[in-house]
Amino acid sequence: MVRNLDLPRSITDSVSVTDPDIIAHYCRDWTGRVVGSTDLLLRPRNHAELVELVRHVGAHKERILVQGGNTSLAGGSVPLNNEILLSTERLTTIKVDPASMTASVGAGVKLADLQSEIARHGLAFGVDIASRGSATLGGMTATNAGGIHVLRYGPMADNIVDLSYVFGDGSTKEPREALLKDATGPSMARLLVGSEGIFGIITSVTLRLLAQPQSRLVAITPLQSLEEGISIGTKLRGDVAAISAIEFLGPEAVQLAPSNPPWAISPGGALLIEVLSEALTFADQLDKLGLDREWVIADDPKRVTDLWSWREEIPGWIARVGKPLKLDLSVPINGLPNLYQLAQMTAKEAGVQCYCFGHLGDGNLHVNLVGEDRSLERVSRSIYQHVVDLAGAISAEHGIGTLKKQELSIVQSAAERRQLTRLIDIFNPGRVINPNVMMDY
């Protein structure tokens, strides 16, 4: 080994990797924009091994960068300063408790694997994201991921019962049976939700589940403008109780599709909605709301998946154009048209390509910029400032990572940063874990 952590041979032989060809696979993010390096990869098999690794690393004054499914879009999962890379990919236990409607899962469990396992019990999980095939529950918790169903079920924070973890100082909370109610003081576990690993490492998560919906339909309608989409979405949210998703497909993004969509191409893009009801019931509701317009509706599982693909495959279409800089922005819903127009205008003036889509139902716009790095930096800075002017957030669900550290100061006061630094010093002294994420060490 390049570094000697004095670990027992039983652990080092099974969890440590020094082969540079294997390690290289872990050192490039999903977009290809962020590339790092390290000479040591650790892959613990359980909570106890992970805790021992953290304690040894701390004792040897080394530092760790934590990686789940490596789907981070903010540069938070790649070692940029030769940190030891610790992957949670082998923490894959799943324990479903139908009586409490919970599932206790290892941090390395992929969302798609959880969905498949709980479906056998007639259960579902409220949070869903397009990268379900690679995103892990530990990473989703660490970034407080939202996804497509936030307006109905909330983000990860609203769907977590408990966590097991190890803080950077080596203190730990062991996995335990699910408790749906626990009022024995503040929850230290809650501190880790959305923390991006700056306090410690999540080793397992206990999740709140729900009964599988009996019916589900997806409908898409073309838009003349984003304002029209907001108007339609507002009517639907007010009168259709079972609505679970309202998504925006930007016209410039849809144009990248390899084939024509099954709806009329329109200058304002398209609106996708998901409803947990029967098609006939939904059609009646549209008539009552005065929304008798062109709708493409699917209510059988295959067609539902096919329609959703028009939204979920957009990132892949963009990636074929170039390596995008991804801005994950949140503003009050009525501010979305303003943000969308400014993003397009600012990008065009700088010679940058701009592709947008997002979660219209919760005010989250994904702005994807493709162009020269210097131009991207200038455009993104302008867009971030506009988000602040709209009383928005520079990260809705992807986190700060390493790419947005400088921008964090425009939305966070000096007092807030001092408080955050104090918390890090308490739980992760010396920044043993994720030293360069969110704030510089």
Unique residue bearing structure tokens 């400014």: 342
* DSSP code of residue 246: E
The reported pLDDT for the residue numbered 280 is 66
Instruction: List, for residues 205-252, the tens digit of each pLDDT value.
Output: 999 999 998 888 999 999 999 999 999 999 888 776 689 999 999 999
Give CA 377 to chain center in angstroms. 22
* Contact between 54 and 64 (Cβ < 8 Å): yes
C-alpha dist (Å) from residue 96 to 75, 115, 145, 173, 326: 32, 11, 21, 20, 35
The reported pLDDT for the residue numbered 273 is 94
Helix (H, G, I), strand (E, B) or coil at 77: coil
DSSP-assigned states of every residue in 88-108: -TT---EEEETTTTEEEEETT
The reported pLDDT for the residue numbered 14 is 76
The reported pLDDT for the residue numbered 1 is 45
Helix (H, G, I), strand (E, B) or coil at 156: helix
Residue 201 makes CB contacts below 8 A (sequence gap 6+) with 50, 54, 64, 66, 86, 88, 107, 138, 165, 166, 433
The reported pLDDT for the residue numbered 195 is 95
Q: For residue 248, give the nearest of 372, 177, 118, 339 by alpha carbon.
A: 339
- The parts of the chain modelled with pLDDT lower than 70 are 1-3, 240-241, 279-280
The reported pLDDT for the residue numbered 2 is 54
The reported pLDDT for the residue numbered 240 is 65
The reported pLDDT for the residue numbered 197 is 95
Helix (H, G, I), strand (E, B) or coil at 297: strand
Give CA 294 to chain center in angstroms. 32
For residue 281, the tally of other CB atoms under 10 A from its CB is: 14
Enclosing H/E stretch for 388 = helix 373-389
Tell me how many degrees the CA angle 24-131-75 measures, rounded to the nearest 5.
45
* Contact between 80 and 402 (Cβ < 8 Å): yes
CA-to-CA distance for 113 and 119, rounded, in angstroms?
10
The reported pLDDT for the residue numbered 279 is 66
* Helices 314-321 and 301-312, packing angle to 10 deg: 30
> Which domains does the chain carry?
9-89 (3.30.43.10), 94-211 (3.30.465.10), 217-312 (3.30.70.2190), 321-408 (3.30.70.2740)
Q: For residue 54, give the nearest of 146, 144, 167, 140 by alpha carbon.
A: 167
CA-to-CA distance for 75 and 32, rounded, in angstroms?
10
The reported pLDDT for the residue numbered 135 is 95
CA-to-CA distance for 345 and 363, rounded, in angstroms?
20
Q: For residue 401, give the nearest of 16, 77, 49, 4 by alpha carbon.
A: 77
